[in-house]
């Protein structure tokens, strides 16, 4: 009698994880999201100068998905930030810099999906892709300062040249 109760307990422990595994497989196996390019580099941008890049988001799943883009670590404008994407479809998302201070910036855009619709079934699991973003914002004051200093050097050279000619006479 004791043996049968031990077998009964062991079989119950094995069935529950197996049952949970079967619940998870359909939710995770067909999920897919892709993005191109896999890295966005804006290069050097001036403070008041805007820069825009396009990001292609692709739903590789067999069902419609709700796509959400989350910016991490940098100030970017993402348009649209949330949308529905049908199966095997792609959509263009515009990414613009919204950084007002000079410096070097590195961050990422997290693209997440979840089942589309008002009442998505299952566990609500989704896929995610991270796209690294980098850019350098140059301050315009530095460029203006170079122009002013260059102009002053030319003016000083001109005054010295005139003074040297007058002193020879």
Examine the pLDDT at 76 and tell me if it is beyond 80: yes
Q: What does the DSSP 8-state code read for residue 127?
A: -
Q: Which of 86-108 are b and which e, b meaning 16 or more Cβ less than 10 Å from the residue's Cβ?
A: eeeeeeebebebebeeeeebebb
**Per-residue confidence at 30, pLDDT binned at 50, 70, 90?**
very low
Over residues 72-98, mean pLDDT: 90
Over residues 62-72, mean pLDDT: 89
Q: Decide if 92 contacts 16 (C-beta within 8 A).
A: no
As a whole number of angstroms, the distance between CA 11 and CA 7 comes to 6
Please name which of 42, 160, 52 lies closest in space to residue 105, comparing C-alpha atoms. Answer: 42
Question: Length of the chain in residues, anyone?
Answer: 169
Examine the pLDDT at 29 and tell me if it is beyond 70: no
Tens of pLDDT, residues 104-158: 999 999 998 887 765 555 555 567 888 999 998 887 666 667 788 888 899 999 8
For residue 45, the tally of other CB atoms under 10 A from its CB is: 17
Q: What does the DSSP 8-state code read for residue 88?
A: T
Q: Decide if 126 contacts 113 (C-beta within 8 A).
A: yes
Pick the CATH number of 31-138 from 3.30.1440.10, 2.70.70.10, 3.10.129.10, 2.60.40.10: 2.60.40.10
What pLDDT is recorded for position 7?
45
Q: Is the peptide bond before 84 cis (omega within 30 degrees of 0)?
A: no
Q: Decide if 95 contacts 54 (C-beta within 8 A).
A: yes
**Per-residue confidence at 13, pLDDT binned at 50, 70, 90?**
low
Give me the residue spans of the domains in the chain: 1-29, 31-138, 140-169
């Amino acid at each position: 009698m004791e043996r049968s109760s031990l077998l009964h307990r062991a079989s119950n422990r094995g069935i529950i994880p197996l049952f949970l595994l079967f619940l998870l497989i359909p939710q995770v196996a067909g999920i897919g999201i892709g993005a191109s390019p896999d890295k966005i580099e804006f290069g050097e941008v001036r403070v008041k100068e805007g820069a825009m890049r396009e990001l292609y988001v692709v739903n590789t799943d067999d069902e419609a998905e709700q796509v959400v883009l989350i910016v991490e670590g940098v100030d970017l404008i993402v348009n649209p930030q949330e949308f529905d994407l049908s199966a095997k479809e792609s959509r263009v998302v515009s990414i613009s810099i919204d950084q007002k201070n000079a410096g070097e910036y590195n961050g990422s855009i997290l693209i997440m999906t979840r089942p589309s619709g008002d009442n998505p079934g299952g566990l609500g699991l989704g896929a995610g892709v991270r796209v690294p973003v980098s850019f350098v914002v140059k301050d315009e004051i530095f460029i203006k300062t170079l122009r002013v200093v260059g102009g002053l050097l030319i003016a000083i050279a001109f005054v010295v040249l005139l003074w040297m000619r007058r002193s020879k006479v």
